[in-house]
Amino acid sequence: MIVGAGFAGCAVALYLERYIDFVDVVMLEELMEDQQGNDYGDIRLTQTAAHLVANTLKVKGASLINDDSNIENADYSISRSELLSSMRQALKKTKILFGSKFLDIEDHKEQRLSVKYCQTDKNGQDKCILDADLLVAADGLVSHCKAAARKSVNCKNRVLTVGDARRFYRFELDFSYRRIQKGASEAIQEGCKLGKLIQEKQTLKQFTVARNEYEFFTHRVIPLIALLIAIYLR
C-alpha cells in the first residue's frame, strides 16, 4: 500500500507495475478526485527525471518540452497537473482511493500491517481497514505514516518513506526556489529508486536491511553534513 498519490507515490507504483509480475498495489489519496485540478504552473524536470518518466516508467501523454535543446543537460518544462495526471492515468493495476485519509497502522497477527483510513465520498465518511505487507509513506513533509510507524519494530520495518516524507530534520524542509522547481524531479528519482529496492528485496529480512541502508544516508549522513556546513557558515 502507498499513502499519497503525488509524484513520489506514483513513481513507486508505476515502477512496481512495470517490473514486478504479481503485485497488488492500493494508493490512498486524501484529496477527492475532483480536487486534483489545481495547477501551480510549470515545473522543471532534469534530464534524468524526464528519462525515467518516458522510458523507465513508460508514461505516455506527458508533453515534456526541452527548455533549450541546444544546451547540454537542459531541463524539461511541463505543467505540474498534466504530468501528475499522466502518471496517474498510466497506472493500470493500481487502485487509487481518492478521499481516503490515513489514520493509523497496527501490527497484524500474521506479521502484516492493518492500515486504518477514513474514506469520504458523496454518501459521507466511513472508517475502513486494509491489510498490507508493506506500506510506502509518500504523504509529504508532515508524514502521519512515518509518525505512526514508530509505535513498534514490526511497523517500522514495514514502512518505507519516500519523497518529502523521508525528510528528518527541520532544516531539511526547504521551500526555496530550487525545491519548488526541482522537487518533482527528486521525488520521481527517489520513487524509482525505492521501487527498484522493493523489486530486488522481497522478503521481510531483506526489507529491513534495505530500509536501513536506504534511510541511513538520507536521515543521518546528509543532515550531519548540512549541520556542519551551517555551523561553519555561522
What tens digit of pLDDT does each residue of 71-105 get? 556 678 888 888 888 999 999 999 999 999 999 98
Please say whether the beta carbons of 148 and 104 come within 8 A: yes
Query: What is the number of other CB atoms lying within 10 angstroms of the CB of residue 106?
Result: 15
The rounded radius of gyration (Å) of the Cα atoms in the chain is: 18
Percent of the chain with pLDDT over 70: 74
Q: Please, where are the H alpha helices in the chain? A: 7-19, 47-51, 80-89, 144-149, 153-157, 177-200, 204-216, 222-233
Predicted local confidence at residue 179, as pLDDT? 57
Helix (H, G, I), strand (E, B) or coil at 233: helix
Q: Is the dihedral of CA 72, 218, 171, 233 positive or negative?
A: negative
CATH number for the domain that contains residue 49: 3.50.50.60
Inform me whether the pLDDT recorded for 171 exceeds 50: no
What tens digit of pLDDT does each residue of 23-49 get? 889 999 998 877 665 556 778 888 889
How many domains does one find in the chain? 1
Rounded to two decimals, the pTM is 0.79
Give the span between the Cα atoms of 10 and 139, in whole angstroms: 11
Range of the domain at 155: 2-233
